[in-house]
C-alpha cells in the first residue's frame, strides 16, 4: 500500500545551520507530494508541494524536489532560524484515493 | 468563517461514555477529512467526505467510530463507548474540490482525553 517514511527526530540545530529532513515514499502510480508544518500551538499548514517527477516545491526558503528514481522528497533549507522550530510532516496523495497519507512527523528545534 | 473550525477544543470524558466532535469546514469546500494525531504516531486518516457522501471510510478504527456530514457542510465524528486508547487529537480538514494535489486546510483540532 501507500506509505511515507521520514527521519525520526528530534533534530536540533543552531541558527543558520543547513537543514535536511529525509522523506521517502511507497506508492502505486504517480502521487503528489507535500510538506506540512505544525508550529507550536498552531494547526497544520501546507509548506510546499510537488505534483510530478522532478518538480521542485519551495516556500519560505525551504525546498524539496520530487525524485521518482529514489522515491524521495527531502526537505532542505540553507539557513534555519529559531522561528523554523516546528514539527514537519511529509505526505503523499495518491490520485485515486484523494486522501493524504502522512509520515510520523519530525520535530525541529533551532537554538539561537 | 475564515478557516476550519472545530469544537470543542478540549474534551475530557470517562471511559464508556459517548462523545461527539464537530467540524465546520471552510464555506464552499466540498471535501472534508478527519484525521487522528496520537503521540509518536503521526496523522492517521479516518474518513473522507465528498459532499455528504463518504467514499472512503477505511481509516475508522472500529464500529464504535462513525461520522456524518449534512448539507455539504458541518460534520460530526461520534465515538461510542470511549476507550482510553481513543485519547488523541482529532483533526478536521477541508479542501475545495478533493482532487489529489490540492491544499488541505486544517482546523486546530479537538484534544480528547478518556479517563
Give the pLDDT confidence of A59-70 residue by residue, as tens digits: 999 999 999 999
Chain B contact present for A59, CB below 8 A:
no
Phi/psi at B27 (5° precision): -55, 130
Q: Report the pLDDT value the prediction gives residue B1, as an integer from 0 to 100.
A: 53
Q: How far is B19 from chain A (nearest CA, A)?
A: 22
User: How many angstroms separate the CA atoms of A77 and A65, rounded?
Assistant: 12
pLDDT at B98: 76
Note whether A44 contacts B: Cβ–Cβ < 8 A. yes
Dist. CA B29–CA B12, nearest whole Å: 30
Residue of chain A nearest B32, judged by CA positions: A99
Read off the pLDDT of residues B55-74 as tens digits, 9 standing for 90 and up.
899 999 999 999 999 998 99
Torsion region of A49: left, alpha or beta (phi above 0 gives left; psi -120 to 50 gives alpha):
beta
Q: Which of A46, A89, A99 sits opposite B103 (nearest CB)?
A: A46
B35 vs A43: CA distance, rounded Å: 13
- B99: pLDDT confidence band, cut at 50, 70 and 90? confident
End-to-end CA distance of chain A: 41
A100 Cβ under 8 Å from any chain B Cβ = yes
Instruction: Give the pLDDT band of residue A97 (cuts 50, 70, 90).
Output: low
Q: Work out the mean pLDDT of chain A and round it to a whole number.
A: 93
Does the CB of A94 have a partner CB in chain B at under 8 Å? yes
Structural contact between residues B40 and A104, judged by C-beta atoms closer than 8 angstroms: yes
Which of A36, A43, A93 is closest, CB to CB, to B100?
A93
Pick the residue from chain B with its C-alpha nearest to A91.
Answer: B43
Peptide bond into B8 cis (omega under 30): yes
Instruction: Please name the member of B45, B103, B109 whose beta carbon is closest to the beta carbon of A99.
Output: B45
Amino acid at each position: 500500500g501507500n506509505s511515507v517514511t521520514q527521519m525520526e527526530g528530534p533534530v536540533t540545530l543552531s541558527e543558520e545551520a543547513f537543514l535536511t529532513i529525509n522523506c521517502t515514499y511507497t506508492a502505486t502510480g504517480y502521487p503528489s507530494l507535500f510538506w506540512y508544518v505544525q508550529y507550536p500551538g498552531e494547526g497544520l499548514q501546507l509548506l510546499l508541494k510537488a505534483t510530478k517527477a522532478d518538480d521542485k516545491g519551495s516556500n519560505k526558503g525551504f525546498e524539496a524536489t520530487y525524485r521518482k528514481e529514489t522515491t524521495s522528497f527531502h526537505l532542505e533549507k540553507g539557513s534555519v532560524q529559531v522561528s523554523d522550530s516546528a514539527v514537519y510532516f511529509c505526505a503523499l496523495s495518491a490520485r485515486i484515493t484523494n486522501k493524504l497519507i502522512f509520515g510520523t512527523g519530525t520535530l525541529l528545534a533551532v537554538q539561537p | 468563517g475564515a478557516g476550519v473550525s472545530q469544537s470543542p477544543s478540549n474534551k475530557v470524558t470517562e471511559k464508556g461514555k459517548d462523545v461527539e466532535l464537530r467540524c465546520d469546514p471552510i464555506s464552499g469546500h466540498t471535501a472534508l477529512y478527519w484525521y487522528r494525531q496520537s503521540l509518536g504516531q503521526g496523522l492517521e486518516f479516518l474518513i473522507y467526505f465528498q459532499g455528504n457522501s463518504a467514499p472512503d471510510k477505511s481509516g475508522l478504527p472500529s464500529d464504535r467510530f462513525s461520522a456524518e456530514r449534512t448539507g455539504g457542510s458541518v460534520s460530526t465524528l461520534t465515538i461510542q463507548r470511549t476507550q482510553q486508547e481513543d485519547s488523541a487529537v482529532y483533526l478536521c480538514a477541508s479542501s475545495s474540490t478533493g482532487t489529489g494535489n490540492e491544499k488541505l486546510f486544517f482546523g486546530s483540532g479537538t484534544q480528547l482525553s478518556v479517563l
